[in-house]
Amino acid sequence: MMAASEDYSKVVDKIYALQKEQEEAMAANVNYKAGKERIQEMIEYLKS
């Protein structure tokens, strides 16, 4: 039974690691989009 709980623990650790990676990727994507929008707003402002 000990081996099974160790395997379960490894799986849970992997899931947490993947979840954290995904959250970081989503945050980076949001920051990228926000930065892109700000640049677009600056371009519009400079055109006027």
The 3-state DSSP class for residue 14 equals helix
> pLDDT tens across 1-48, in order?
567 788 999 999 999 999 999 999 999 999 999 999 999 999 999 999
Chain-centroid distance of CA 28 in Å reads: 6
| Secondary element (H or E) of residue 6 | helix 2-47
Q: What is the pLDDT of residue 6?
A: 83
Instruction: Give me 9's structure tokens.
Output: 């623990």
